[in-house]
């Protein structure tokens, strides 16, 4: 029987096209091996764009923007609450602010996207080598976690884990979440008539890597300004992967 393994933090792409990872040395008596998963070289980034008020905002820190009349630079201007207790405290906070103060706080010209929002990865994230540091670099902290966290994490795990080894028979099997998709009748989704997903199609899917990003925006500004920010984010993500010698030409929004 093969030695048991433990998942290590996901590999980091390097400019020369290689991947690097970190682990620690253990005594020879500790036979559980560290396991890195090597992603495919073809990359299709997935970018989640939140709805209105789904992006965390803070008082501007950029010298190109005016100072907020109420908040100190970098102080949270808008963070939708995560959980009931935060909801109560946030409601009390805004109740104590009169309309004029609220307008001064939520001034498009004095706030910017806040990347420091809460991220609460589920406990099983360690089983996939996923860390908060990794997903924060993909801007997950820009969006309201209770609204978009499950979506971001679900895409991150579901899209990048298609097959697994059966622990008893030691054969490749389709992951549970994809078996559920394969068993679903496409007509129940209300889309055009398509055939059920097959294992051969999943093999094609598994030949790509799908890093999942978020892209928040200042929803107090115009749609045109927000669209430019999204366009720049798309271009920067593609450039990131191309500069690391990966095949990346398109994204999924």
What whole-number distance in Å separates Cα of residue 146 and Cα of residue 80? 9
* Tokens describing residue 25: 């040395």
Q: Are the C-beta atoms of 214 and 206 separated by less than 8 Å?
A: no
Instruction: Using alpha carbons, select from 214, 205, 224 the residue that is nearest to residue 42.
Output: 205
* Tokens describing residue 236: 């920067």
**18 secondary structure, DSSP code:** -
* Tokens describing residue 107: 């001034």
**Strand-pair category, 57-59 with 111-113:** antiparallel
Q: What is the DSSP string of 117-131?
A: ------GGGGGGT--
* Tokens describing residue 96: 């104590």
Q: Mean pLDDT over all residues of the chain?
A: 92
pLDDT over 90 (residue 32): no
3-state SS assignment for residue 101: helix
pLDDT (tens digit per residue) in 103-114: 999 999 999 999
* Tokens describing residue 118: 């809460």
Instruction: Using alpha carbons, select from 152, 71, 164 the residue that is nearest to residue 111.
Output: 71
In the chain, where the domains are located: 8-22+40-56+115-163+199-252, 58-111
Mean pLDDT of 89-112: 97
CB neighbourhood size of 34 (10 A): 15
What whole-number distance in Å separates Cα of residue 204 and Cα of residue 241? 20
pLDDT (tens digit per residue) in 137-172: 999 999 999 999 999 999 999 999 999 888 777 788
pTM of this prediction? 0.90
pLDDT more than 70, % of the chain: 99
**208 secondary structure, DSSP code:** E
What whole-number distance in Å separates Cα of residue 135 and Cα of residue 132? 5
How sure is the predictor about 2, in pLDDT bands with cuts at 50, 70 and 90? low
Instruction: Using alpha carbons, select from 246, 222, 217, 251 the residue that is nearest to residue 234.
Output: 251
Mean pLDDT of 58-87: 95
Q: Which residue reads 């009748």 in tokens? A: 185
């Amino acid at each position: 029987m093969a030695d048991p393994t433990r998942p290590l933090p996901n590999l980091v792409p390097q400019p020369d096209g290689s991947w690097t990872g970190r682990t620690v040395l253990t005594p020879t008596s500790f036979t559980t091996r560290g396991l890195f998963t090597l992603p495919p070289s073809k990359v299709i980034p997935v970018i989640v764009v939140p709805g209105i008020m789904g992006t965390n905002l803070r008082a501007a820190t950029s010298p190109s923007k005016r100072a907020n009349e109420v908040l100190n630079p970098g102080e949270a201007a808008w963070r939708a609450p995560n959980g009931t207790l935060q909801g109560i405290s946030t409601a009390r906070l805004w109740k104590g602010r009169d309309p004029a103060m609220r307008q001064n706080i939520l001034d498009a010209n004095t706030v910017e996207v806040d990347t420091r929002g809460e991220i609460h990865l589920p406990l099983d994230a360690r089983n996939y080598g996923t860390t908060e540091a990794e997903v924060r670099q993909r801007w997950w902290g820009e969006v309201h976690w209770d609204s978009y966290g499950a979506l971001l994490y679900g895409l991150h795990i579901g899209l990048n884990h298609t097959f697994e080894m059966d622990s008893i028979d030691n054969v490749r099997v389709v992951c549970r979440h994809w078996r559920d998709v394969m068993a679903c009748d496409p007509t129940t989704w209300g889309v055009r008539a398509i055939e059920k997903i097959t294992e051969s199609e999943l093999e094609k899917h598994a030949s790509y890597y799908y890093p999942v990003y978020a892209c928040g925006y200042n929803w107090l500004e115009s749609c045109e300004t927000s669209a430019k920010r999204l366009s720049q984010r798309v271009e920067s993500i593609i450039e990131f992967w191309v500069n690391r010698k990966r095949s990346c030409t398109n994204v999924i929004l």
